[in-house]
Structure 1
Amino acid sequence: MTLSEGSQPPVSKPPESRQPGAQPDLPGDGKGPGTAPSAAATAWHSLTAAQALAAQESSAEGLSEAEAGRRLVECGPNRLPRAKAPGALVLYVRQFKSPLVYLLLAASVVSVFVGEWSDALFIFVVLQLNAVIGGYQEWRAETSAAALDRMMRDRVVVLRGGLAREIDTADLVPGDIVRLESGGRVPADLRLLEQHELSVDESLLTGESLPLEKDVDTLVPAAAPLPDRLNLLFAGTTVLTGRAGALVVASGAGTQIGRIASALALPDRAPPPLIARLERMGRVIGIATVVAIAVLAVVQLLQGLDLLTVFLVAVALAVAAIPEGLPVAITVALSIATGRMARRNVIVRALPAVEGLGACSLIASDKTGTLTCNELTAKRVLLFDDAGPAVAGTVGGQGYRPIGTVAVDSRAPSKQELAGFAELARSAALCNEAEIAFEDEEVRHLGDTVDVAFLVLAAKLGLDPAALKGSYRLHGMIPYEPQRRYAASFVSGGDAAAGPVSAGTTGGATVHVKGALEVLLPMCDGIDAERALAAGDAMAAEGYRVLAVARGSVSRDAAERADAGSLRYLRLLGLVGLMDPLRPEVPQAIQRCREAGISVVMITGDHPETARAIARELGVGDGDPVVVTGAELQAAAPATQGFAAR
């Protein structure tokens, strides 16, 4: 089964007009950490930028230092909520919270009372060994988690009293105005005030691996899902391209990711399976021992034995019935398992969690970055000739490593086919604003993930992206915009290795274009539009994001002006299918889970049909996977009392 958030079309209708100076109607009320007064439940994506500023009692110049300090005291630092780390003494004492341990303590006390010092000493040593081993393992896990927290310190440019300054993100408060640029991490939940060619990676929050284009003026209903809130930025996401100025509307626990962290920080509602079974066994042993002692005492008293002898026999029975070595045996076994998990880069903060993992019957897994590589990759290439689709190629390799080749019908492409693939990849790499560098085992990249994917495709086909751009002169560029749905680069020059790309007339230039197929088709000449659209639809039905690539000749003057009107009579080179590829080991892991009786559910923010295609490839579900959207799950929640879908 697959859970998909789905989406709604953006609504551009603004809220009702108001009298000057009136406050906007804010749905909901209340206060909470990381939110300004009376703004905890405000639907910021339904308010204009001016209304959002008014609701936060801020301005385009930002807050004053005094007001920012007051709000910091009121709202608290901009940090994710986390439970206070337990000290060594707390971890030590926590190891004694078990009915079985209580029985052993009682047996130890009774042994001391009757003078059985050897039994008392043995039980004491066992309990201490159990507490030390368990406490030490949990202390190591807490220390490792704290070290990871200390490594994550970010700074952000904020506007205070009209002056820009850099501060720690922990000092941000609702009402602050922040400035963001490409490559930066969004420090809090923000309402956009201005933006320039802004795209954001929200895969951390929504599971969507494709970049999301943001827009200041798009207003959507209060109930709109997160991916549709195009005028908001969410804490923890990453700015891929562009710049923005934005208003902080929630910080810390008040952010979307903060709410998730708050839920995870709550005490467990139910004990782990191992603890529950040990508690049940402790109660059974305790009750059985008391019943046996009572029966034996009655029998011995009826036989005329004195009271002291009956008491000593009862104590001996109680000590013998309690498994003194069981707690330390369990602790040692769990410690060994914890060490094995640590070698797999998994921090286990509580020993019983290891056994709880082994007792699970359902795994609800995020898609992006867990089941997939979270690295958008070109996987299909469809070359066109004058008649339409001609050669279909499958691209090997995963992620951003330039490892993989193109195959045509499970064979190596011919020399002519390979030249066609390289020509398409060259055009896509030249119509590109991303940067990538391959350094030994590390890949460094910057820019839109779609552009990065095209650079990797070029590298797989034997082209050097950096050298390729350096061998051409860029005259002009039409950058990608959501409303435009295409990008174009006007270049001239090239070298022998790259092949001739200059226009047929002296002083001309070449334009390379990539974008949505339905947008590029009117620019192209001599192509069967119906067949091209059918080919694109077929690729999209398989879960690919489909982009078209075209090229043509223009005058040098048109190139210098980046004239969109000159994009005519282009040649459609082909279509590229992009997908966040599955991790190679995942399908086998899912199959092993199913063989072990563990159900697997994929959770994603993808379109339902895309989610279905990916789930089918993963082997999630039998036959045709069942897809449940967020709206359907929410509607079923009263009847199912939460997540109960299979």
Structure 2
Amino acid sequence: MDKSQGLTFQEAKTRLNKHGFNEIERKKQLSLLKLLLDQFKSPLIYILFFAGLITLFLKEWTDSVVIFLAVGVNTILGFIQEFKAEKSLVALRKMIVIHTKVIRDGKEELIEAKNIVPGDLVVLSTGDKVPADGLIIKEVDLHISEAILTGESIPVEKRQLQNLKEERDEIKPQFKAFMGTVVVSGRGRMLVTATGMKAKMGQLAGKLKETIDEETPLKKQITKLSRFLAIIFALICLIIFFEGILRQRPWLEMFTLSVAVAVAAIPEGLVIALTVILTLGMQKILKRKGLVRKLLAAETLGSVDVICADKTGTLTEGKMKVVGADFINLHQGKKAAVLCNNLINPLEIAMMDWVSKENKNTGQLIKENPRIAEIPFSSEKKFIAVLTSLNNSKDRDRGEIFLSGAPEMVMEMVPFSSREKLKWMKKLDEYTKKGLRVVAFASRAGDLERLKLHFNRLKKDFKKYDGHVDGNWHSLKLEWLGLLLFEDPVRLEVKKSLAECQRAGIKVKIITGDYKNTALAVLRKLGLADGSLKEDQAMEGWQLEKISSEELLKKIDKVLLFSRTTPEQKIRIVEALQNKGHTVAMMGDGVNDVLALKKSDIGIVVNEASEVAKETADIVLLDSNFQTIVAAVEEGRGIFENIKKVVLFLLSDSFTEVILIGGSLLLGLPVPLFPAQILWVNLVEDGLPGLALAFEPKDDDLMKELPRKKGTPIIDKEIKVIIFIVGIMTDLFLFGIFIWLLKQEMAMEKVRTIVFAGLAINSLLYVFSCKTLRKNIWNENLFNNKFLIFSVFFGFLLLISGIYLPLANRLLKTVPLNISSWFIIIGLGVTNVLLIELVKWFFLRNKSKIKSNSLA
């Protein structure tokens, strides 16, 4: 195989059939049988099974049917919802595709990493994740982090293997690259030797197998809450059981009653509802061009109150265009733009396009000036330098060094006179104030061998670069060529999103490597700045370098723009914001941003980001647009709101049912509900509407509220008060009706049927109050959730069936009710809802006052 041409597509296809996909085996992600069996692992199911077996043994057929029906319904509902959620998560994961560059048929192609085969020629660049094991056959200052394999954080310098025929086992690691490692700097080419499970990473697959199940903090919180409530309610049920026994009630009746109360009280549906809500939220964000990679992000998004955004590609279109050139020697400037170019970023592509439009022979220029050596660009050095020779017999002993990069760096390396330097600094200031990006160029022609010595010495010096340029560059006597000017158009639609952030209490901070003036011009166009920023609103990289962490903490909230920053400084900014109690969303795109992305609460990358940055990120912006970040935050807030609604509804009903049964026993009253009736209310009247709340559309005013504070519990003061009031008020009404009807000497079966219907109707009406905690029910669209409407309608039909069908009468021990009874039942439900709305109104009024004070 010609190592410069790579494999042919036909040969690659043959090898793919032979070796299989380049993938690490993972745990089976979706097993229907396992999902079904998991439904039976619940303590709730164990209790029901135990109770069902006892009732069967005692030949209490009616109770047995109801209990096993409860088991069946609970299992089927849980299985269906978890299956849908798991299926959606798998589909979302399949969208996360890693690509890599290979040489096929002599051309550079971008393919899915799973299609790489042994013998492929892989192109490696800074920020790439090495897709397979292989041999380094070409490199330019290539350094790879092998921390994932060795735990060693210091990148390993790689060398080019000269003899490919050498025995593979005898080749030293410095000539090899391994799957899963990360290119930290430089670039190179790798000949693939092992893929998939045959790669070194594949051999460790047993330790590295992944599963789709993510235990997010919120899920852990809900699970912990459910277990805590299960213990509390189990103790209450034991008290109910022994209280009944002490009052000489039949032990079987008390046992089944206690089991029914336990089933009704334990909010088993919370964990399923949480999974459904998070998965639906991820799908909604995807529809708005944001790919959420981690469940954790879906639940954290709603609390974001600071967005640290890069300017390029999000506030701007990311489409670089050369709009001017200020060169002393235009011909030499164009030559530098072509030769000092690797075509790996928008700036370099724009440079080549600019030269190509006027000079069609860029290929010939590269051929006549072959590259001998290179100092690759890095975010620390902020320049690229190349050494070329002249490919003709006349000047074969001659060569040139070309340099391009950040103007302040290039100016440091050129031996300017003070006057000349001041002149170009003024020009630079003028260009950046217009919002232009500027790249500087310099060159030096001379004896090739002498230039080689200079270049190699400088290359070694920059491996130990500490941010300061030494005198060696001045001894080289580089000649200043001039400046190339670029424009990156502003996304005007972002202006609306920034205003939306302001209304939502979200601060947007711009962190850019550009000049302050360039970024400020963009901010003006977007309405984030009127004229120049105040002194405490902008901070440059050199200022960040000098300032202490304590001082930064004091100033961080006021700073709007951070310019000329390094990746390390981004981490400091994120840490300072987090130490001030903010939930931070951070944007990045390169390998150097990985630590800042990890440090932030939400890591965000554009679709064009490096593979390693994508893998670190929580969200990938498929359209690279700032609007998508705002949309994701909005959906994140909706996710948290829906979780609160489900928790409120299910816990309110649990509290009501426990107090109703326990209170009646303590007061020496007859039991107001039979076990079968309690199970019916719990599964039919509570279960379906509770799950339907997961599908609630988000409130229109969601982005007019301030973000919730970090660590805000789901069950906050408002939720606790409503749960308590709902439980107490409903029970007081039911106790009042129960006692009054008993005094009227109404038949006990009818009294229990009225209480049963009253509890059910209360749930079916109360769920509409839970639709929103941000407005009262009369200001809410009650019909915008078709799942909720269906579940309430279905629940009402089943309630009517439970009261009027003869078979249901026998199972539930109910009797048909007359119209006057229904007036009592509906009156109870409406009164209860009005009282709840009164409590909501009180909280809404207080929230409005707090918001007014915070904005004042």
Q: Which band: TM-score by shorter chain?
A: 0.3 to 0.5
| Structure with the bigger percentage of strand | 1
| Structure with the bigger percentage of helix | 2
Higher relative contact order (CA 8 A, sep 6+): 1
Which of structures 1 and 2 has the bigger CA Rg? 2
